[in-house]
Structure 1
């Protein structure tokens, strides 16, 4: 007995597999654009640090691949602000010589 005789499916052309239609248009849906996360940034009271933290809002309007540049810029600025704190001269202790 051959495969054909044993009930194997005859050679029938198969329909091509297509992506499901979403909405009124045909084809895959477009990804949503950038959207703000709505996070609240609490001011620190240090103008330089606050300016860098506000720069994070720029990422809200960029696609994900643009976030890295903003994050690296903010990180660099915050590191510089911390380094500047270490570089400030420390006043000499008060000595009372009489």
Structure 2
């Protein structure tokens, strides 16, 4: 054990006597100078939640071939409702929320 400590002390002496210095970054102030903190504004984005009524699924109309005109009219109505919901979502999308 004593040999280990002798080697460790010898290494420490060599490092200490070698004149190795820690280089400081050039932008760091000198050791005796206090640094004045500067406030930083952090922008935080808050997204507007989309109401649940605008994410409801539209039913798909189905029926026999004899009712094809009625089914087509029901599908068109569902498509128009879906497009109206998308327009409402687009209107909400660009609005901001205060945290």
TM above 0.5: no
Q: Name the structure, 1 or 2, with higher relative contact order (CA <8 Å, separation 6+).
A: 2
TM-score, normalized by length of structure 1? Answer: 0.32
Structure 1 or 2: more helix by fraction? 2
TM-score, normalized by length of structure 2? Answer: 0.32
